[in-house]
Amino acid sequence: MQVQVLLFGIVADLIGKETLNFAIENNDTVKNLKTALRTKYPQLKNYSTYAVAVNEHYAQDDFVLKDRDVVAIIPPVSGG
């Protein structure tokens, strides 16, 4: 199973990419994905103040991911 991860703002700068494909396991949650991202990209170690959206809706840590979900990493917004 795999999800597409979209990166924005400072997180895109920190990782140096705007999209990633990330392998997930059955029943993996948003929280599992956050942990996996931090392991793969140590530059995120000190950066945890972001929200997550799954398929264009904000999702909490316990949200269970499915194959081909589109997960967006949303650093603090600053529109307006």
Partner 1 sequence: MKNISIKLTSDTLSLQECYAFVEDPACGGIDVFVGTVRNHTAKKTVNQLDFSAYGPMALKEMEKIARQALETYEVHKIAIHHAEGILKTGDIPVIIAVSAAHRAAAFEACKFAIDSLKETVPIWKKEYFEDGEVWVNAHP
Q: Which residues bind partner 1 (CB under 8 A)?
A: 6, 8-10, 13, 49, 53, 56-58, 72, 74-80
Q: Which of residues 27 and 46 has its CB atom nearest to partner 1 in the complex? A: 46
Pairwise CA distance, residues 39 & 4, whole Å: 17
Q: Which of residues 26 and 71 has its CB atom nearest to partner 1 in the complex? A: 71
Q: Which of residues 24 and 72 has its CB atom nearest to partner 1 in the complex? A: 72
| Rounded least distance, CB 6 to partner 1, Å | 7
Pairwise CA distance, residues 37 & 73, whole Å: 10
CB burial string 2-12: b at 16+ within 10 A, e below? ebebbbeeebe
